[in-house]
A and B are shown apart, each in its own frame.
Chain A
Amino acid sequence: MKNMMEVKGLTFTYSGANEASLVDVTLPVEKNKVTALIGPSGCGKSTLLRGMNRIHDLYPGHTYEGVINLLNTDGKSYTNILDIKKEAELIRLRQRVGMIFQKPTPFPMTIFENIAYGLRLSGIKNKADLKDIVEQSLRDAALWNEAKDRLDHDARGLSGGQQQRLCIARAIALKPEVILFDEPTSALDPISTLAIEEMISVLREKYSICIVTHNMQQAARISDFTGFMYLGEMIEYDQTDTIFMKPSKKQTEDYISGRFG
């Protein structure tokens, strides 16, 4: 199976910091698989994720070294996204590599507009098309039944779990190739968490997913591959079963068995 994205030897330093937050990190993101990143707070997993659609670049002064490859639409060659300089190409990149954040971030507009917003930005203006895609995205995000009667209501009136599913619907409406989840369930109750986890296992059929999580059970439940990070380094990456059953590094074993972190 081909890798959708490949992070190779990435070293990342925040603006004004003396030490790099990521050191020589390597991580493949396989196509139509779920890759989980685990590790204690401050280990750099979110930093890595935010490099993969270069959302870091909204704030000036950060430095990257290394390579982050993204599979081209021809399915054969790769483009190093760190080479992108132009604003317009960064915007295109972010539409191909979507992102879901720790907290639900509904835009201050209606449920329909929340999803149509990104579509309009990407140039879809036709009303009928918009309506179709909005409906399909809401169905894929398991929100259609709850939201279909109030598409014209302010999205901030939804519950936290519904808001997060709306954000996922919003991201998949753009038909991204990769979806990055940055601790998507850390602000949600257990039932909403379960709904999101189920959705992620379905989404894998269409998208390649990379998820950062604090919750090791979550990683074990939903991911195919797991990377364990510690102090800015990728300690171990393997199939999820291997990482959780018989990790090859002592640090991984200690973390998974709850001895630190």
Chain B
Amino acid sequence: MELIFKKIAQLSASLVFVILAATTIVLYLSAKPAIEEFGLKFLIEPRWGVQEKVEPPAIAEQSDLKQLEKSADIQTDDDFIKDEEDFMMDDEDDFIFDDDMESDSNRNKTIYGALVPIVGTVFSTLIAMLFSIPLAIGIAVFLSEIAPSALAKPVGVAIELLASIPSIIYGMWGLFYFGPFIASLFGGNTVSLLVAGLVLGIMVIPFMAALSRDAIATVPDMLKESAYAMGATKLEVIKDVVFPYAKTGIIGSIILSFGRALGETMAVAFVIGGVYQFAEKVTDPTNSIPVVLANSFAESSGLSLSVLFYLALILFVLSFGVIAIAKFYFLRRK
């Protein structure tokens, strides 16, 4: 019985690694065509879904040019005919135009680049963090150290409830109310990098505040009392004893919130704009990786689908990397 229990526990634990490995492998295999096509240049390429003329190879250049001239001749001929029949043959005009496009696309390829969504993801998350960290820690300190327990308990429960609101609700609220409000304050669009960052921030505040409060609650009363017994004021006790003691837990809550903001899809999809361009000002719309994924999967196939998997792999590495770095860098001293 003991043995079975141990084995089951072991199995559950190893399942985590299996899932992690499987996810990575599937992402990589699906992304492979795109990785081979675009390589690491994908990371710094700002264009997305843009047709680009392929430079013909040097040897085939001349014959290609001839062909081009020929087709141009044919086109001009066609154009003459078209002009003559223009009044009656509108349909044919379209047909010829389509034909033209098709012959062009043989020499073109579609360029995909991840730079816009990567930058959008990173910046919306950074804005969210800048906005939420001071507020969340303020809430946590207030609830655990300052508020009388008659107030701290109901507010604490309310914070935990807020943390459980599905993100799509934040997205709708952001689109219909908060976005216009921010636009009226700072100008610019009702959907923008700034709105996305702030909505993300608001979304993670309860989560971060609840976790930080729990971390602060682990500071022993006796430790705080001994600081008061040395003649410290409340502010000094919080600054010099509570924060350093609860540092690990508070940083942990920030990291978890960071990871959550990085991968957040629904709330951001509503308010970031979803356009493939850099936000020159924070009030410009842009895009983020999860939003691109959610918006594009339905109409993608072949290479464009593989590109999405490449993008997903980047997000995976990004969030994995951030959390790994934070874990080893900040929490290395226990």
Give chain A's interface residues, CB within 8 Å of chain B: 53, 55, 58, 60, 87, 91-92, 94-95, 98-99, 101-103, 105, 107-109, 117-118, 121-122, 167, 170-171, 174
CB atoms of A55 and B241 under 8 A apart: no
- Contacts A105-B223, A107-B223 known; A95 to B244 CB distance under 8 Å? no
B interface residues, tally (CB under 8 Å): 20
Give the chain A neighbours of B232 by CB distance below 8 A: 91, 117-118, 121
CB atoms of B220 and A105 under 8 A apart: yes
A59 to B230 CA separation, bound complex (whole angstroms): 17
Give the chain B neighbours of A53 by CB distance below 8 A: 229
CB atoms of A170 and B225 under 8 A apart: no
A251 to B154 CA separation, bound complex (whole angstroms): 47
Minimum CB–CB distance for A121 against chain B, Å:
5
A151 to B85 CA separation, bound complex (whole angstroms): 97
Contact with B227, one of A87, A95, A103, A107 (Cβ below 8 angstroms)? A107
Contact with B231, one of A103, A109, A122 (Cβ below 8 angstroms)? A122
CB atoms of A91 and B233 under 8 A apart: yes
Q: List 30 A-B contacts (CB under 8 A).
A: A55-B225, A55-B229, A58-B224, A60-B148, A91-B233, A94-B229, A94-B230, A95-B230, A98-B229, A98-B230, A99-B226, A101-B225, A103-B220, A105-B222, A105-B225, A105-B226, A107-B244, A109-B244, A117-B227, A117-B232, A117-B240, A118-B230, A118-B231, A118-B232, A121-B231, A121-B232, A122-B231, A167-B226, A174-B230, A174-B231
Give the chain B neighbours of A99 by CB distance below 8 A: 225-226, 229
Minimum CB–CB distance for A109 against chain B, Å:
7
Give the chain B neighbours of A87 by CB distance below 8 A: 233
Contact with B222, one of A94, A101, A108 (Cβ below 8 angstroms)? A101
Give chain B's interface residues, CB within 8 Å of chain A: 148, 220, 222-233, 236, 240-241, 244-245, 247
Give the chain A neighbours of B230 by CB distance below 8 A: 94-95, 98, 117-118, 121, 170-171, 174
A169 to B277 CA separation, bound complex (whole angstroms): 63
A91 to B236 CA separation, bound complex (whole angstroms): 12
Give the chain B neighbours of A103 by CB distance below 8 A: 220, 222
A167 to B226 CA separation, bound complex (whole angstroms): 9
A122 to B231 CA separation, bound complex (whole angstroms): 7
Give the chain A neighbours of B229 by CB distance below 8 A: 53, 55, 94, 98-99, 171
Give the chain A neighbours of B227 by CB distance below 8 A: 107, 117
A105 to B245 CA separation, bound complex (whole angstroms): 11
Residue in B closest to A61 when the chains form the complex, CB atoms = B148
Minimum CB–CB distance for B273 against chain A, Å:
45
A91 to B227 CA separation, bound complex (whole angstroms): 11
CB atoms of A107 and B241 under 8 A apart: yes
- Contacts A58-B228, A117-B230 known; A109 to B240 CB distance under 8 Å? yes
Q: Which 10 A-B pairs have the closest CB atoms?
A: A118-B230, A108-B244, A95-B231, A105-B226, A99-B229, A91-B231, A105-B223, A108-B245, A101-B222, A94-B231
